[in-house]
Amino acid sequence: MGKIGVFDSGIGGLTVLDELYEVLPKEDFIFYADSIHNPYGEKSDEELYQITSDIVEYLIERDCHIIVIACNTATTRCIQYLREHFPEVVFIGTEPAVKVACDGNYKNTLVMATPATIQSERLQLLIHDNQKENNHFYLAPCYGLANAIEDGDTKKQNEIIYNLYEEYKENNIDSIVLGCTHYPHISELISSYFKDAVLLDGAMGVARETKRQMELHNLITNQGTGNVEIIKTK
Ligand code: DGL
């Protein structure tokens, strides 16, 4: 019986897995938390291609026909490459919730993401395709933040968010796109500085899209028990 493969550079993927579990309670999952390679967001495309291909090969061996990339960085940098190299797999990506910000008519949106996501063409395209006249985007590459969350380094997390607030406190930020799946783990900290901003992330959208694609490709088993096998590389 096929399982749903989910991977990320660590605990970020859990924020997506939570929603997947809600939407698909009768499936089983393998969650590959690749903490040893964290941070993905500060690696080259070549390194990321290698790392993610190895994970995909492993998940295919474990009978996963659908793989959820529970990571904005790996999605924006590698999903095309992975789709070309593993055409037998259905890939679902996680992307910064830029469309949600545009649809919600927010005026000043701060996009927090890893440097690799911020520099990606995909993010530029998402903004270009969805932006309305009144939407203004501020792009913040959060160096070291995913790693500080992975390592539970609260001092560093606080320092990074404090500096971010100092940089953008005059910009009337009304919404923040959490463009890295690690960031929802510190949403309270972020909200404690940016008190007037609504936090947006794409996890629920990813879960719904996974279910839709599974239906489309006849991959729903309805025979699982919501079991999650966790593989942690560190
Ligand atoms: N959680 C990942 C993301 O959504 C990446 C974190 C990292 O390893 O840099 O971008």
CA distance 234 to 232: 6
Q: What is the pLDDT of residues 65-97, one digit of tens each?
A: 999 999 999 999 999 999 999 999 999 999 999
How many residues are there in the chain?
Answer: 234
- Closest atom, ligand 1, to C-alpha of 39: 8
- 174 CA distance to ligand 1 centroid (A)? 24
- 214 CA distance to ligand 1 centroid (A)? 25
**Quick one: 116 exposed, middle or buried, by C-beta within 10 A (0-12, 13-18, 19+)?**
buried
- 48 CA distance to ligand 1 centroid (A)? 11
Catalytic residues: 71, 180
Question: Residue 186: what pLDDT?
Answer: 98
Ligand 1 neighbourhood includes 39 CB (under 6 angstroms): yes
Q: Are 73 and 116 in contact (CB under 8 A)?
A: yes
At 123, list the tokens: 């993010």
Question: Residue 17: what pLDDT?
Answer: 97
Q: Among residues 158, 186, 145, which one has the least CA distance to residue 42?
A: 145
Ligand 1 neighbourhood includes 120 CB (under 6 angstroms): no
Question: Residue 57: what pLDDT?
Answer: 98
Q: Are 113 and 180 in contact (CB under 8 A)?
A: yes
Angle between helices 121-130 and 72-85 (to 10 degrees): 100
Q: What is the pLDDT of residues 2-24, one digit of tens each?
A: 999 999 999 999 999 999 999 99
Q: Are 95 and 158 in contact (CB under 8 A)?
A: no
Q: Among residues 60, 25, 69, which one has the least CA distance to residue 220?
A: 25
- 65 CA distance to ligand 1 centroid (A)? 23
pTM, full prediction = 0.97
SS3 103: helix
At 69, list the tokens: 């990339």
Beta bridge partners of 178: 112
* Cα 120 from chain centroid (whole Å): 14
- Closest atom, ligand 1, to C-alpha of 117: 10
| DSSP secondary structure, 195-207, as one string | TTPEEE--HHHHH
CA distance 180 to 113: 5
- From start to end of the chain, where are the E strands? 3-8, 29-33, 64-69, 90-92, 108-113, 136-141, 175-178, 198-200, 228-232
Question: Residue 173: what pLDDT?
Answer: 98
Ligand 1 neighbourhood includes 72 CB (under 6 angstroms): yes
Q: Are 16 and 23 in contact (CB under 8 A)?
A: no
CA distance 136 to 143: 22
Could you say which residues of the chain have pLDDT below 50?
none
CA dist list (Å): 46 to 81, 170, 233: 11, 38, 20
Ligand 1 neighbourhood includes 38 CB (under 6 angstroms): yes
